[in-house]
Amino acid sequence: MQAHFLGLAPYLPTYMAMQEFTADRTPEDADQLWICEHPPTFTQGLAGRAEHLLQLGDIPLVPTNRGGQVTYHGPGQVVAYPLVNLQRAGYYVKEYVYRIEEAVIRTLAHYGITGHRVSGAPGIYVRLDDPHSHAQLAQRPQSGAATTPTPNFTGLGKIAALGVKVSRHCTYHGVALNVAMDLAPFGRIHPCGYAGLQTVDLSTIGIHTTWQEAANVLGQQLLRRLAP
């Protein structure tokens, strides 16, 4: 996989470039990992509903073909787009999502933070009272569970959002890790379709690092976890 750091990249041209790359790629083309940050932008997934858009103001909303609901991108957030041929990599979409989440969890662990999965709510969360706590969540995904309970976000903050698209066995869109950003725009939406879900970044839980360092750590984790 080839990693490319794009810097501050407008959202819509980046989205269109991902679509073009995926449509034109051949089975022999190497996988790529695009890492960037975006100017302030709301993006809406295929399942998006109007009631989750509260007050967009001067921030544009871009409809997309990824899964999920509405989220926010802005400076100070590391956005990673893995462009992976899953057929060649040898794993399915569910495992692909698990591997991306694992890369985020390992990135947080690099900073001494424990990231958590919540059953039925893709992305990574931290405990607001003690982000360093290793105590497992009762609502973590568990094999053999008969049903997926309604997520309860009490005491949790979302630090990374995930939305993917697969076309002809090839992925695009990806994951966004909040590092040090203006979190106020998340208050203009129901993040990922959940009213009252608190969004946090590394800086608000006491981790002060640069965008580039966090991008490097996440990039290396993704390169490692997404290997065939």
- What CATH number did the domain enclosing 194 receive? 3.30.930.10
Answer with the residue of higher pLDDT: 119 or 91: 91
Q: What percent of the chain is predicted at pLDDT more than 70?
A: 96
Q: Say what the pLDDT of residue 41 is.
A: 98
Domain membership of residue 28 (yes or no) is: yes
Judged by average pLDDT, the poorest of 42-56, 96-110, 133-147, 160-174 is: 133-147
DSSP 46: T
In a domain, 144, yes or no: no
Q: For 115-158, what is each residue's pLDDT tens digit?
A: 999 988 899 999 999 999 888 888 777 665 555 668 888 899 99
The domain total for the chain is 1
List 192, 200, 217, 226, catalytic entry: 192
Report the chain's terminal Cα–Cα distance, integer Å. 10
The pLDDT assigned to 145 comes to 59
**Residue 186 in domain:** yes
Query: What pLDDT does 148 receive?
Result: 63
170 labelled catalytic: no
Is residue 147 included in any domain, yes or no? Answer: no
Residue 86 lies in a domain: yes
157 in a domain, yes or no?
yes
Range of the domain at 162: 2-139+152-225
Task: Provide the pLDDT confidence category of residue 27 given band limits of 50, 70 and 90.
Answer: very high
Within-domain flag for 146: no
Asked whether residue 219 is domain-assigned, the answer is yes
Gap between the Cα atoms of 85 and 170, Å rounded: 4
Buried b (16+ CB within 10 A) or exposed e, 174-184: bbbbbbbbebe
